[in-house]
Amino acid sequence: MNAPQEFVGIGEKRTPGFAVFDMDAVSIPIPFDRFSITIRGGIQNILNKEYRNHLSTIRGNITSEPGRNFFLSIGVAV
């Protein structure tokens, strides 16, 4: 959750506040011979909210952040 950016410099654009919701899950470590793996997956920006981070600009051109994302990762511990 971010509040709106009210204090802007000359030539900057104001950006509204926003809230996004993420969800993820992580497995317990799965042991193998000399190492273990952990599996993690989830969804970012579940509601597919269009939002902008104030400092994510290129010379004042404010672009939206990514929409809904799914991810899966595998971690290995030795």
8, 17, 52, 12: CA torsion to nearest 10: -10
Report if pTM > 0.95. Answer: no
| Cα(41)–Cα(75) distance, integer angstroms | 11
pLDDT tens profile 16-69: 889 999 999 999 999 999 999 999 999 999 999 988 877 776 666 767 888 999
* Residue 52, Ramachandran bin (φ over 0: left; ψ between -120 and 50: alpha; else beta): beta
* Of 40, 24, 25, the residue nearest 76 (C-alpha): 40
Reply yes or no on whether the pLDDT at 75 is more than 70.
Answer: yes
Gap between the Cα atoms of 2 and 7, Å rounded: 14
Query: What pLDDT was estimated at residue 69?
Result: 97
The ranges assigned to domains in the chain are 23-51+66-77
Measure the CA–CA gap between 26 and 71, rounded to whole angstroms: 12
